[in-house]
Amino acid sequence: MYIVEVSPLKNIKAFPYLSYFSSHKFKKFDIIKVPFRQSEILAVVSNVKEVKSIKADIKNKDFAPRKIRKQEPMDFISKDFIKAAFDLAKFSVRAPGLILEQALPKSALKYYDKINPPPKNSKKEDLSDEKINTLLINDFSAGRLESFKALVRQKLAQGESVLLVCPNRKTAKNIYDFLAPGISSLLYFYDSGLSPLKQIKEINEIRASDKARCIVGTPAILFSDAKNLGLIIIEKEASISYKRQRHPKSDIVKLAELLAKRKNIEIAYADSFLRLENYMQLFKEEAHVLGHIPKRLRKRTRLRIIDLGKEIQYNKEYKLSYPIISKEILGQIERNLKENKKVFIFNPKKGFSSQIVCNDCAHVLSCPKCKARLRLQEDPRSKERHIVCMRCGYALHSNITCPKCNSWRLLDLGIGIDKVADFLKQKFANLEIFILDKDKVKSEKEAEQIITAYYEKDTASILLGTQKALDYIPSDSVDYSTALSVDSLLSVPDFKIEEKIFSTLTEILDKTKEAFDIQVKDPKTRVIELFASKDLHKFTKSELKLREKLMWPPYVQLISVSISGNRKAVIEKMQKLIDIFADYKPRVFRDFIYLDKNTVELKALFRVPSDIWPDASKDFYKKLKELPAEFKIELNPEQVF
């Protein structure tokens, strides 16, 4: 008799692991069905022990484990993929079942019984110490496409398959169309927009092929397991689309890296501005660059910084009201529209405004449940404006008074994308404005429809978008671009914020043919100055030097441990955590985060050098794993403070 510990392929709160009796000795990494409440669910085996070796532990438990029925383990996921998911689970202190649940396509979890077993690939020999198996492609889109063509054809000629992973379906289709001439019979486009059963059919076709092929598609193709795989390419590797937004926030780029290591194959990261950890690898000679890493952003697009602060200072009209778009930029938009050119306006903030302030008592409206700042937002369907909390979802009608002084004079401060849209509609009557942001567009299909309609329109129009829009706009497809209020992001409590700003501006530059204007209040900000001078090398070097000095990633791993509940219980539990980890000097934040009226959250932060995480920090890692499920652990959280 055995005790089988499993991790469900389902996000079950407070149950990341479950234990069962079994007469059959399952193996670690097996995918099986286990009883849970009134049904059966998929789970991956994480540990197996003989009952006689842990009899005392079983007797001391106040419940008896249920029994798993006799069954054969399911064979629809390759062992390399499962092991890579376990590696990512260990790296990010998560349950492997949760990682698999986010990494697998939904169609695979629903119709797993219709998926053919993965091909039996021959194991590649270990790469020699001299050979670097990480490639970097740092170029604008046109240059990257040429690099992909050369790499793909080289691998296919060697009889090896290639997975070319893209952040969305539209990008994948554009790359597929570019690569197709001459090698279309060896190319395969995995269409994630198809119905679940048709997606399963695609996966089975990929697995059935004996030929070396290049499969282009969204991150789901990592699961497809093409035969004789020799290279994984991650296109737009800095895209936020690769980071899942719900718990456990799996990093698909990291999963691809770990899968490449398991399969002992090469991996290539491609973007116009790579993540800083890849530049660090390059400087340490731990990665090989394909072509060269440019020291400057080599693009002929005219680039200007528009100082809105100076315009306000010398314009009497602007002193009475805060301008949304500078007069210089408005003039450029008008000229381009008259010439029927494509115009793109980027605004980093969703909604109508970022905060609401009373004009009489200066009170900033906050959520009565969790104390976060409230903001004004427009419902995309009803077009009504509501005051909402972006943390807990609390909402109320916009027709309210100040809770402190009962005044009606409430001001919405900050420039959200909805406020920009209203302003443009007033300035350019009868002009069609296409809006692409996360609040209004819920699916890839909707985003593709908006982009297609924008480019097919013959008359003058404007595309207005947030970060989400950048994944769908083709390279050099916009004549004039402008970015509004980018420097306002510097107030976001994110250690990566300057890197993200530089990356975003580089991506907009890649989309723009003729001219790109950036509207800021402070042009002397370091990231704005370095981008204006197109000095890529100086920015990466200075940012890495600053991160090393401040002990931020990629030099260390930041581990946030938080506990929530009533104030007294939270203080007691946090004190126990401090006592357990006393040798590791946790930094505990004094301020509570209010989740609702009676619930608070408190955080502790640990720093662990990246070169020892997680394998060389076994004692610390073990203590983290032994923490009760009520403690929430997050690796390199986006917002630290």
381-394 pLDDT per residue, tens: 666 777 887 666 67
Which of the pair, 99 or 412, is modelled with greater confidence? 99
Those residues with Cβ within 8 angstroms of residue 72's Cβ, 6 or more apart along the chain or in another chain: none
The mean of the pLDDT values for the chain is 88
Q: What is the DSSP string of 12-27?
A: -TT-S-EEEEESS---
464-496 pLDDT per residue, tens: 999 989 989 999 999 999 999 888 888 777 889
Residue range 490-518: mean pLDDT, rounded: 93
Which of the pair, 389 or 418, is modelled with greater confidence? 418
346-356 pLDDT per residue, tens: 998 877 666 78
Q: What is the pLDDT of residue 292?
A: 84
pLDDT(130) > 60: no
Report how far apart, in Å, the C-alpha atoms of 526 and of each of 247, 349, 370, 430, 506 are: 34, 21, 34, 40, 15
Q: Strand (E) positions, 405-476?
A: 410-413, 432-436, 461-465
pLDDT(319) > 60: no
3-state secondary structure of 72: coil
How many Cα neighbours within 13 Å face the side chain of 182?
8
Those residues with Cβ within 8 angstroms of residue 576's Cβ, 6 or more apart along the chain or in another chain: none
Residue range 522-529: mean pLDDT, rounded: 92
Structural element, H or E, at residue 231: strand 229-235
The owner of tokens 């709160």 is 13
Q: What is the pLDDT of residue 143?
A: 94
Residue range 367-383: mean pLDDT, rounded: 71
Those residues with Cβ within 8 angstroms of residue 8's Cβ, 6 or more apart along the chain or in another chain: 15, 16, 18, 34, 36, 41, 42, 43, 95, 97
Instruction: Indicate the pairing of strand 66-67 with strand 31-36.
Output: unpaired
Report how far apart, in Å, the C-alpha atoms of 504 and of each of 71, 492, 619 are: 50, 15, 39
Q: Which tokens sit at 201?
A: 């059919």
Residue range 291-299: mean pLDDT, rounded: 89
How many CB atoms lie under 10 A from the CB of residue 178? 15
pLDDT(128) > 50: no
pLDDT(55) > 70: no
Return d(Cα 429, Cα 423) in angstroms, integer. Answer: 10
Q: What is the DSSP string of 339-373?
A: TT--EEEE-S--SS-SEEEETTT-PBPB-TTT-PB
**Residue 553: closest CA among 511, 610, 638:** 610
pLDDT(56) > 70: no
Residue range 148-172: mean pLDDT, rounded: 95
**Residue 301: closest CA among 85, 58, 514, 607:** 514
Return d(Cα 464, Cα 346) in angstroms, integer. Answer: 6
Q: What is the pLDDT of residue 15?
A: 83
Predicted confidence band of residue 324 (pLDDT cuts 50, 70, 90): confident
Predicted confidence band of residue 639 (pLDDT cuts 50, 70, 90): confident
pLDDT(220) > 70: yes
601-610 pLDDT per residue, tens: 899 999 999 9
pLDDT(222) > 70: yes
pLDDT(311) > 80: no
Return d(Cα 7, Cα 554) in angstroms, integer. Answer: 29
pLDDT(320) > 60: no
Q: Which tokens sit at 188?
A: 């395969």
pLDDT(37) > 60: yes
Q: What is the DSSP string of 240-294?
A: GGGB-SSTT--BHHHHHHHHHHHHT-EEEEEESS--HHHHHHHHTT-SEESS---
Q: Which domains does the chain have, with CATH numbers?
A: 1-74 (no CATH), 134-289 (3.40.50.300), 302-351+415-548 (3.40.50.300), 355-413 (no CATH), 556-635 (3.30.70)
Answer for the pair 544, 553: CB distance below 8 angstroms, yes or no.
Answer: no
71-93 pLDDT per residue, tens: 999 999 999 999 999 999 999 99
22: exposed, middle or buried (C-beta count within 10 Å: 0-12, 13-18, 19+)?
buried
Those residues with Cβ within 8 angstroms of residue 94's Cβ, 6 or more apart along the chain or in another chain: 16, 88, 248, 250
Those residues with Cβ within 8 angstroms of residue 310's Cβ, 6 or more apart along the chain or in another chain: none
Q: Is the peptide bond before 219 cis (omega within 30 degrees of 0)?
A: no
